[in-house]
Amino acid sequence: MRLSGEILPPPPDDPALALKQFLREDGTALDESAIPKIANAELGRMLRGMLTIRIMDERLLGMQRQGRIGFYGEARGQEAAVIGAAAALGPKDWLVPALREAGAAIYRGLSLRTYISQIFGNENDVAKGRQLPCHPGTRAARYVTMSSCIATQLPHATGMAMAAKILKEDSVILGCLGDGASSEEDFHVGLNFAAVFRAPVVFFCQNNQWAISTPTTRQTASPTYAIKAYAYGMRAARVDGNDVLAVYSAVKEAVDQARSGGGPTFIEALTYRVSAHSSSDDPTRYRDESITEKWRQKDPIERFQKYLIARKVITAATIETMKSEIETEVREAIAAEESVGAPPLRSIIEDVFAEVPQFLADELAEIESLPRQKLGGVHQ
């Protein structure tokens, strides 16, 4: 806002500064009448989705520590942001992930076995072990394979949205990012193009306050990440990322606006990465873990469970049954996929060439003639 050449700050109740919230940390509603109308069955499905992420993360991180898988990245403490955003999408919409959204792919239809096969990189993995673990992709669930290159997915999300617009498809693209992505060139490219051409895309930023070891105070001088939207001429929203209903409401509103031709929205979901950045990281070396412990008390799953029990949507006993069912599903999927062998060695070239050149066929034959132990157990 400009007045006589003076740049004025936005009002404190501006959606880019204020934090949208429906549930207090103890699970009670701030205003029951303001909470979006969601069927009880869908509320239960959202809780199941959040619990699936938590249980799956616990089991798979434990396996990494045992040396049974090579790498893993948790979404612990961020389950509300992941599932709240996914639940707000329609079946024709696409989700372009950042790093911790694999639970959204499962929520949208990716099977546990398919996801776990990707982590093992075994013969059942559709990528045949050629992608990093925790990087699934599924055309059926409209979930694009993630990339570890920070922010490159944002121009992709904008491009997909423009394609949908040109083809007159009734699809909206959810482009996910973390706070660290806001410092990359692709952040500017993606948001600027989307705003200028009013692409049907929603940018969803999980501000978990740490980009590996870089805190938000070293990432930006802006009072919030959401406020950056105004520089691009798009709508902004800022929500409590640990309140699944607030996340759902903000994303649903933005998706509806984009679908109706109203252009893009940038959403900041304020949360916290209570676990390490990945299984390769030790956060005790760079952050005050007493702050982390305070955020653990803001557990998004506990908050949502308390609300649902108070509203008699679900009972504590039903939740325990649900947890037990998910535990069984995860363990059975792990047992089934851990016993599957590696992808055939021949797939290295057969998936590249329709007709394998003779020189590569000769090289492959030479490799296949080597003793199994010299190939690290990969040869089949």
Give the tokens for residue 369: 């003639």
Quote the CA–CA distance of 13 and 191 in Å, as a whole number.
24
Q: Assess whether 188 carries a catalytic annotation.
A: no
Select which of 273, 287, 296, 379 is catalytic.
273
Look at residues 230, 208, 235, 239 and name the one whose alpha carbon lies nearest to residue 18: 239
Q: Assess whether 273 carries a catalytic annotation.
A: yes
Q: Is 192 helix (H, G, I), strand (E, B) or coil?
A: helix
Select which of 143, 277, 303, 307 is catalytic.
277
Quote the CA–CA distance of 26 and 300 in Å, as a whole number.
10
Q: Assess whether 156 carries a catalytic annotation.
A: no
Q: DSSP letter string over 317-335?
A: HHHHHHHHHHHHHHHHHHH
Which are the contacts of 241, defined by CB distance < 8 A and separation ≥ 6? 78, 80, 81, 206, 207, 208, 247, 269, 270, 271, 300
CB burial string 347-368: b at 16+ within 10 A, e below: ebeeeeeeeeeeeeeeebeeee
Give the tokens for residue 40: 């009880």
Torsion of CA 204, 206, 210, 215, to 10 degrees: 60
Q: For residues 67 and 49, is the Cβ–Cβ distance under 8 A?
A: no
Give the tokens for residue 140: 């059926």
Give the tokens for residue 79: 């389950």
Beta pairing class for 265-270 and 201-207: parallel
Select which of 65, 286, 331, 372 is catalytic.
286
Q: DSSP letter string over 139-159?
A: TTTTBPPP-SSTTTHHHHHHH
Instruction: Compute how many other C-beta atoms are within 10 angstroms of the C-beta atom of residue 17.
Output: 16
Quote the CA–CA distance of 48 and 326 in Å, as a whole number.
8
- Measure the CA angle with vertex 148, ends 234 and 276; round to 5°: 95
Q: Is 371 helix (H, G, I), strand (E, B) or coil?
A: coil
Which residues carry out catalysis?
273, 277, 286
